[in-house]
Structure 1
Amino acid sequence: MKKLPIGIQTFSKIIQENHYYIDKTPFIKKLESGGYYFLSRPRRFGKSLFLDTLKEAFSGNRELFKGLYLYDNWDWDKKYPVIKVSFGMGVHRTPQELNLKIIEALAQIERNYDIKLTNQTPSGKFYEAIEKLSEKYNQKVVVLIDEYDKPILDRIEEPDIAKENREVLKDFYSVLKDADPYLHLVFITGVSRFSKVSIFSGLNQLNDITLDKEFATICGYTQTELETVFEDRIKDFDKEEVKKWYNGYNWLGESVYNPFDILLLFDKKEFRPYWFETGTPTFLIKMFQKNQYYLPDLENLEVGEEILSNLDIDYIYPENLLFQSGYLTIKDHYRISNKNYYLLTYPNLEVKTS
């Protein structure tokens, strides 16, 4: 049997150390021509791994993809300089801390590519890094940003600090608009979908694929993937019971299994709400305790697209946070007078058994 990639977010480690890997590289092929993309998914759902896989593909590391779809379906002669920034590490307590962490991340880019950044501000260094990498390699740059919203969510129960962190991020991301001539692909992931106006002001070409049916299974495991890749593991379990527990997530396409739950099920050989026990965002719990929300009332709740599509510190809806954090998912959807409406439901037994 192969190893279970529990907690591993590095593509090369999964491949080189013989872990199970669900081939999501057909989605990378769809991004080959470039553009600006945004994807929201719950925590521990495979976003960081997908971003790291993107990095390896655009860096031209072909041998890592042997046996995968992309190996024979990619132009490996083209290699792009890649800037990857993750806000997943640590807690961002103040705007000063956040600025320092951005500068540290860009200093790592300096070392990786042997360039010198002379600008002083985080946004200035970011723009300079993009420009210099493009000039040095005579190629456009790929920018990957993971957990773009964590510095805001870390302080969501303290609105004043959250707003200050938002302004720092807004200034940082604003570089992407002016750096457009030097950019090939921008891919941004996070838990929440803050409104473009509040975070990505001016970045009108940003394509939000969160509820795009074509990308519905970009993260998570489909039924076919579970039964083929994990064939030697799933045979020891009642498939219907596995489905009842972990297959409740839907983003307007085929439903998917929670990968964190599946991996721990195979490891522990016991049905438990693993994601709920360890992946629950603390910011969400704090907000619900403060406002005394009664979660069962949200079962089969009907909401409009305006609630699921936008989140801002000044206008926080419980339905929005629950959906974007993974507590609720789409059970059904319909359209009336050119407006989208969604029926929400708890994704599986995780919440019901807590």
Structure 2
Amino acid sequence: MKLIAQSENIENIIDKDSIYVDKTEYIYNLTKDFDRVFFSRPRRFGKSLTLNTIGTLFEKGVEPYFKGTWIYDKWDQDKYPVLHLNFLRFRTTNVEDFKEIFSSKIAEFADSLKLKKKIKSKEPDLAISELFTALDEKRIVILIDEYDCQLTANINNPELYEKFRTCIREFYAALKGAKQIKFMAVTGVTRLKDVSIFSVGSDIMDLSYENDYSSMIGFTRDEIKKFYDDYLKLGISIEKGKSVDSVTNEEIEEFVERIADNYDGFSFDEYHKNKVFSTYSVNVFLQSLYRKKCVEFGDYWYDVGGLPSILMNYMESHNLNIENLLKSEIEIPYNDFKNPTSLLNINENVLMCQTGYLTLKSELDPVDDVILGTANQEVKSALFRLLSLRVYQKNVSPYSTGKKYVLEQGTVEDIINLFNEVLAALSYDKYPVKNEPVLRSLLQVYLIGKNHDVRVEQNNSKGRSDILVNFPKRRVVLELKYTDKVNEEKNKLDEAEQQIIEKGYGLENLGDRELIQIACVFNGAKTKRQITMYKKIEN
């Protein structure tokens, strides 16, 4: 079996005979249709490999790295020098150091071309202008990776943010209209108007949500079935104890569907037609399958690619709207989504979308709101792990002995004790529990963040339960009531009990599961702040 690629360099991938998911048709069209492009994607999605592939084609042509790919007999571009700038390698806390490193990279590139004129300026905009002058009629390709690194690192430092923004803005102004640029591509996580890539540098085409290029980065279902066929068959053979040769197409479809539940669903399409899988998560899942010889749908997004510094920095100075993020669909104004101005005042849901925690759930219509939501189970779990970091001061284990969930095997008393321990870990200064919706939201954050199968406000024909947690052999239903007065606790408990009985919470599609229905009352008074009364409803 071919190895799964672990490099962002197309030459390394081909040299090691690793699997390359062929995206060269997109790249061919991209370089034919546009002179300058920008596209944003979350971290670990394949932006760097895309830029590297473009650079390799322009600098070296199709030999020997593109044999067998779609582009091999179609690429007819001349060869051009490639100036590849990765802002991750530049300083993020000192503007002068950033400028010096940036300018030195331009100077080194000029030296490699053996140009007569040396690049002397330490200002990036002046250095690139000197390069254009030295090039005269020669043309180059410019590729810029993670253009927003310095901005995202300084989301909590407005003064430093503005200095970096001004420097980057001036650099793009120097690029506008330069005849020496044969082709240019810029990538990053965020799309920000205040950097002026799209105003000062208005000749750059933003392809972030273009339908034609929505699948250029990320894996499609058909690509997974084509390029990872051996791995899919291996996974099925391991699970079902059968030979690889006997695996059927129906079994492959079912297996891919399960992979999709965990890693698919990202939409970068203005029409909301095309969806892609997370490249990193799919690769790590299949590598783990091959190495461990077992099928395990891990949560890889959060551990490596899913907690970018931009969100950590943002959360230091901003409160996330937890109740909003619990919704399956979040509506935001079209202009907030399409034209985010600055990281300093960006709509938090737009930021969550740009970093991959939310994705498009509707088409982009200028006269209608944009709908966002989580892409898949892995990202949903990562989102609530992220929120748990924000609201809980310590980790509370969801397990009892033997790594079994308390809610799955514990008594009602065990379950209430767990919830009280969780609620005691809250940072009350930041998220005071003042009503039932907040109480419900915080418990949901904890449970979903611990990978419980939680149904939020589960509907049946008579009403909606507050929290419903499913396990293979048990279902736990909670009806929560809030008060801050001791003399109201008994009435609130009776109210919760009657609601469970009258509405039949948890009875829908129960199957042969054991049903645990719990009515409980949380007292939010400063001297209490715990579930003070509870009752198991006897069926």
Residue 4 (structure 1) aligned with residue 4 (structure 2): yes
Report the residue type matching 2:134 in the other structure.
K
Structure 1's 242 and 211: CA in aligned 2 closer, same or farther, altered over 3 A?
same
Residue range with higher mean Cα deviation, 338-347 or 315-324: 338-347
Distance in 2 between the 1:313 and 1:334 partners?
22
Contact 1:92/1:98 (8 A) holds in 2: yes
TM-score where L is the length of structure 1: 0.91
Contact 2:331/2:370 (8 A) holds in 1: yes
TM-score where L is the length of structure 2: 0.61
Q: Which of 332, 336, 349 is equivalent to 1:303? A: 332
Distance in 2 between the 1:151 and 1:74 partners?
35
Q: By how many angstroms is 1:289 displaced?
A: 4.5
Residue 227 (structure 1) aligned with residue 225 (structure 2): yes
Report the residue type matching 2:119 in the other structure.
T
SS in 2 for 1:42: coil
Deviations 1:317-351 (CA, angstroms, capped at 9, x unpaired): 1011101111100112263xx53532111111224
Contact 2:84/2:143 (8 A) holds in 1: yes
Residue range with higher mean Cα deviation, 266-275 or 290-299: 290-299
Task: Specify the alignment match of 1:342 in structure 2.
Answer: 370
Distance in 2 between the 1:352 and 1:84 partners?
35
Residue 240 (structure 1) aligned with residue 257 (structure 2): yes
Report the residue type matching 1:159 in the other structure.
P
Q: By how many angstroms is 1:230 displaced?
A: 0.6
Residue 322 (structure 1) aligned with residue 352 (structure 2): yes
Distance in 2 between the 1:192 and 1:154 partners?
12
Task: Specify the alignment match of 1:54 in structure 2.
Answer: 54
Structure 1's 226 and 160: CA in aligned 2 closer, same or farther, altered over 3 A?
same
Report the residue type matching 1:151 in the other structure.
Q
Distance in 2 between the 1:42 and 1:245 partners?
17
Report the residue type matching 2:308 in the other structure.
P
Task: Specify the alignment match of 1:263 in structure 2.
Answer: 283
Deviations 1:118-151 (CA, angstroms, capped at 9, x unpaired): 331321221222343453xx4x321111111111
Distance in 1 between the 2:341 and 2:210 partners?
18
Q: By how many angstroms is 1:240 displaced?
A: 2.2
Equivalent runs, 1:41-120 vs 2, <5 Å? 41-63=41-63, 64-76=65-77, 78-89=78-89, 91-115=91-115, 116-120=117-121
Distance in 2 between the 1:93 and 1:281 partners?
17
Q: Which has the higher contact order (CA 8 A, sep 6+)?
A: 1
Distance in 2 between the 1:342 and 1:229 partners?
34
Q: By how many angstroms is 1:107 displaced?
A: 3.2
Uncovered stretches (5+) of structure 2, i.e. residues with no partner: 237-254, 290-295, 386-539
The aligned length equals: 346
Report the residue type matching 2:377 in the other structure.
L
Deviations 1:245-275 (CA, angstroms, capped at 9, x unpaired): 0002011241111010011111223311212
Distance in 1 between the 2:356 and 2:163 partners?
26
Task: Specify the alignment match of 2:131 in structure 1.
Answer: 129
Contact 1:264/1:274 (8 A) holds in 2: yes
Contact 2:39/2:186 (8 A) holds in 1: yes
% same residue? 29
Report the residue type matching 2:100 in the other structure.
L
Task: Specify the alignment match of 1:285 in structure 2.
Answer: 312
Contact 1:173/1:200 (8 A) holds in 2: no
Structure 1's 112 and 352: CA in aligned 2 closer, same or farther, altered over 3 A?
same
Residue range with higher mean Cα deviation, 49-58 or 114-123: 114-123
User: Runs of 4 or more off by more than 6 Å in structure 1?
Assistant: none
Distance in 2 between the 1:141 and 1:110 partners?
11
Distance in 1 between the 2:267 and 2:206 partners?
16
Distance in 1 between the 2:284 and 2:181 partners?
39
Distance in 1 between the 2:120 and 2:61 partners?
31
Q: By how many angstroms is 1:22 displaced?
A: 0.7
Deviations 1:73-123 (CA, angstroms, capped at 9, x unpaired): 1105x1122211111226511211211220232133134322353331321
Distance in 2 between the 1:297 and 1:210 partners?
25
Q: By how many angstroms is 1:200 displaced?
A: 4.8
Report the residue type matching 1:262 in the other structure.
V
Distance in 2 between the 1:2 and 1:194 partners?
40
Uncovered stretches (5+) of structure 1, i.e. residues with no partner: none
Q: By how many angstroms is 1:18 displaced?
A: 0.9
Root mean square deviation, CA, Å: 2.0
Report the residue type matching 1:347 in the other structure.
A
Q: Which of 329, 338, 362 is equivalent to 1:332? A: 362
Report the residue type matching 2:176 in the other structure.
K
Task: Specify the alignment match of 2:173 in structure 1.
Answer: 174
Task: Specify the alignment match of 2:380 in structure 1.
Answer: 352
Structure 1's 340 and 19: CA in aligned 2 closer, same or farther, altered over 3 A?
farther
Task: Specify the alignment match of 2:141 in structure 1.
Answer: 142
Contact 1:159/1:313 (8 A) holds in 2: no
Report the residue type matching 2:221 in the other structure.
Q
Distance in 2 between the 1:313 and 1:21 partners?
35
SS in 1 for 2:298: coil
Structure with higher Rg: it is 2
Residue range with higher mean Cα deviation, 224-233 or 274-283: 274-283
Distance in 2 between the 1:73 and 1:169 partners?
36
Structure 1's 108 and 234: CA in aligned 2 closer, same or farther, altered over 3 A?
farther
Distance in 2 between the 1:289 and 1:349 partners?
26
Structure 1's 333 and 178: CA in aligned 2 closer, same or farther, altered over 3 A?
closer
Contact 1:81/1:133 (8 A) holds in 2: no
Contact 1:333/1:340 (8 A) holds in 2: no
Contact 2:177/2:203 (8 A) holds in 1: no
Structure 1's 333 and 32: CA in aligned 2 closer, same or farther, altered over 3 A?
closer
Structure 1's 304 and 57: CA in aligned 2 closer, same or farther, altered over 3 A?
same
Report the residue type matching 1:344 in the other structure.
L
Structure 1's 20 and 202: CA in aligned 2 closer, same or farther, altered over 3 A?
same
Distance in 2 between the 1:32 and 1:292 partners?
42
Contact 1:37/1:207 (8 A) holds in 2: yes
